[in-house]
Amino acid sequence: MKDAVLTLLLLCAFAFTVSGQEAKPLADDPELEKRLANLAKELRCLVCQNETLADSQADLAQDLRAQIREQMKAGKTDKEILAYLTDRYGQFVLYRPPIQPTTYLLWFGPFVFLLAGLLVLFRYVKHRRQMIPEAPLTNEQRRRVEEILKEREKPA
């Protein structure tokens, strides 16, 4: 009896794994699907902005994937398709922003901050060094130093 229940449970578990298979790609051309998947990774879904077009399940993302697939079938290059999308949705649709005057701050800003930080650090350290002047030894100190050194030199 116990075995039967266990078998049943196991079967149930398997039933779920079987039903949880991956969705079939819409086109039958695996080469094209691969190209689509690669390109979709470079694109942002505008509905859920932190997702790529490849990951998003939003309706718009599905429409756009269908649109890209269609254009690929029509023989358009990836570059042409990207241009098509940026013409309509703007540069924001690119997941990796291109390096151009409007994105200089985005790309180089962190390095500017790093440089500024280093400059501040450098100046601070320099300033501190000046704050601690090298005081010359007093005569008393000098005498003691010589005494100690002499003591060391003597064989024990």
Partner 1 sequence: MSRFIIPLGLFLVLVAFLAIGLSRDPHEVPSPLINKPAPAFQLPQLKDPTKTFSAQEMRGKVWILNVWASWCVACRDEHPLLFEYARTGAVPIYGLNYRDKREDALAWLGELGDPYVLSASDTDARVGINYGVYGAPESYLIDRNGVIRFKQIGPITPDVWEKTIVPLARELNK
By CB under 8 A, name the binding residues for partner 1.
46-47, 49, 59-60, 63-64, 67, 86-92
Minimum Å gap between C-beta 64 and partner 1 is 7
Q: Which two tokens stand for residue 86?
A: 């940026």
- The distance of closest approach from Cβ of residue 156 to partner 1 in the complex, given in angstroms and rounded to an integer, is 53
Q: Between 34 and 88, whose beta carbon lies closer to partner 1?
A: 88
Spatial CB neighbours of 121, under 8 Å, sequence gap ≥ 6: none
- Nearest approach in angstroms of CB 49 to partner 1 is 7
* 76 and 23 Cβ atoms separated by less than 8 Å: no
Task: Return the number of the residue (47 or 148) whose C-beta is nearest partner 1.
Answer: 47
CB of 42 to partner 1, least distance (A): 17
Q: Which is nearer to partner 1, 46 or 54 (CB)?
A: 46
Q: Are 95 and 48 in contact (CB under 8 A)?
A: no
Q: How far is 1 from 81, CA to CA, in rounded Å?
A: 62
Contact 8, 50 (CB under 8 A): no
Q: How far is CA 148 from CA 75, 135, 139, 143, 154, in A?
A: 89, 20, 14, 9, 10
Specify the residue, 32 or 62, whose C-beta has the smaller distance to partner 1: 62
